[in-house]
Chains A and B, each alone.
Chain A
Amino acid sequence: MRVAVAHNGSAPAPSAIRLLNVSKSYREGERLHVVLDAINAEVVAGDTVALLGSSGSGKSTLLNLISGIDQPDAGAIELAGTRLTALDERARTLYRRRNLGFVYQFFNLLPTLTVAENIRLPLELNGVAAVASERRSLELLDAVGLAARATSFPERLSGGEQQRVAIARALAHAPALVLADEPTGNLDEETGEQVLGVLQKMLVEHGSTMVLATHSRKVAAIARRVWRTQNGHLIEESGISL
Chain B
Amino acid sequence: MNLLAKTSLRYLPRHPWQLAVALLGIALGVAVIVAVDLANSSAQRAFLGAVDAVYGEASHQVVGGPAGIPESDYVRLRLDGGVRASAPVVEGFVSIGERAFNLLGVDPFAEAGFRTYQIGSGGQGRAWLDLVSRPGAFVLDERAAAALGLDVGDSTEVIVAGKKRPGFLAATLAAEGGRPGLSDVVISDISTAQEWLGWNGRLSRIDLRIEDDAGVARIAEGLPEGSQLLSAAGRSRQTLGMTRSFSTSLTAMSLLAVLVGVFLIYNSVSFTVIQRRPLLGVMRSLGVTRAEIAGLVLAEALVLGMVGVVAGLGLGYLLSRELLGLVTQSINDHYYYVGAASVQLAPWSVVKGIVAGVGASLLAAALPAWEATQAPPRQTLARASLEQRVSEKLGLIEICAIAAIAGGILALVVTDRSLVVGFAGMFLIVVGLALLVPGFVALLSRRLAGPIGRLAGLSTRMAIQGIGRSLSRTGVAVTALAVAVAATIGVDVMVGSFRGSVDAWLQRSLNADMYVAPPRLAGGRAEREIDPLLLRRIVALPEVDHVGYSRSVDVVTSEGVRRLLAVDMTDEYRANTRLTRGDATAAWAGFDDGSAVLISEPLAFLHNLDAGDEILLPTARGVRGFRIAGVYEDFDTGSGTVMLNRDLYRQWWQDDSVTAIAVYLEDPAEAQAFEAAVDALSAGRQSLLVTSNRDILKMSLDIFDRTFTITNVLYLLTVAVAFVGMVGAFSALQMERIRELGTLRALGFTPWQVGGLVNVQTLGLGLLSGLAALPLGVVMAWILLHVINRRAFGWQIDMSVSPSALLGALALAVAAATLAGIYPSWRMARTAPASAMREE
Contacts and interface: CB of A to CB of B under 8 A. Distances in A.
B288 A97 contact: yes
B2 A121 contact: no
A104 B2 CA distance: 24
B287 A93 contact: yes
B45 interface: no
B14 A112 contact: yes
Given A96-B285, A102-B286, A120-B3, A112 B10 contact: yes
Interface in B333-379: 376-378
Interface in A191-217: none
Contact of B7 (A90, A102, A113): A113
Nearest to A111: B840
Contacts of B2: 124
A100 interface: yes
A110 interface: yes
Given A69-B285, A97-B287, A122-B287, A64 B7 contact: no
Interface stretch (B276-284, B528-536, B736-744): B276-284
A98 interface: yes
B287 A98 contact: yes
B290 interface: yes
Interface string B263-299: 0000000000000001100111111111100000000
Contacts of A111: 279, 840
B6 interface: yes
A124 B3 contact: yes
Nearest to B377: A69
B394 to A, nearest CB: 18
B11 interface: yes
A155 B282 contact: no
A112 B272 CA distance: 13
A94 B279 CA distance: 18
Nearest to A166: B282
Contacts of B287: 93-98, 100, 122, 125-126
A195 to B, nearest CB: 18
B3 A121 contact: yes
A125 B6 contact: no
A110 B283 contact: yes
Contacts of B10: 112-113
Contacts of A113: 3, 6-7, 10
B66 to A, nearest CB: 75
A73 interface: no
A175 to B, nearest CB: 10
B7 A93 contact: no
Contacts of B378: 64, 69-70
Given A64-B378, A124-B3, A155-B840, A90 B289 contact: yes
Interface in A70-92: 70, 89-90
Contact of A97 (B6, B279, B286): B286
Contacts of A121: 3-4, 286
B377 A89 contact: no
B286 A70 contact: no
A220 to B, nearest CB: 23
A113 B10 CA distance: 8
Contacts of A182: none
A70 B279 contact: no
A64 B285 CA distance: 9
Contacts of B376: 69-70
A89 B285 contact: no
A102 B377 CA distance: 13
B840 A122 contact: no
A42 interface: no
A118 to B, nearest CB: 9
A47 interface: no
Interface string B820-840: 000000000000000000001
A108 interface: yes
Contacts of B289: 90, 93-94, 97
A134 to B, nearest CB: 11
Interface in A34-83: 64, 67, 69-70
Interface string B376-410: 11100000000000000000000000000000000
A151 to B, nearest CB: 13
A110 B279 contact: yes
A161 interface: no
Interface in B1-58: 2-4, 6-11, 14
B840 A67 contact: no
A89 B290 contact: yes
A93 B14 contact: no
Contacts of B283: 110
Contacts of B288: 93, 97, 125
A120 B840 CA distance: 22
A174 to B, nearest CB: 14
A12 to B, nearest CB: 29
Contacts of A110: 7, 279, 282-283
B284 A125 contact: no
Contact of A69 (B3, B4, B8, B284): B284
A102 to B, nearest CB: 5
A111 B4 CA distance: 12
B286 A125 contact: yes
Given A69-B285, A112-B14, A155-B840, A117 B6 contact: yes
5 contacts: A69-B377, A70-B378, A93-B289, A97-B287, A125-B286
**Nearest 10 A/B pairs, CB to CB:** A97-B287, A112-B10, A69-B377, A108-B282, A96-B287, A112-B7, A93-B289, A112-B11, A70-B378, A121-B3
Interface of A: 64, 67, 69-70, 89-90, 93-98, 100, 102, 104, 108, 110-113, 117, 120-122, 124-126, 155
Given A113-B7, A122-B286, 8 more contacts: A93-B290, A95-B287, A97-B286, A97-B289, A102-B285, A112-B6, A113-B6, A121-B286
Interface of B: 2-4, 6-11, 14, 278-279, 282-291, 376-378, 840
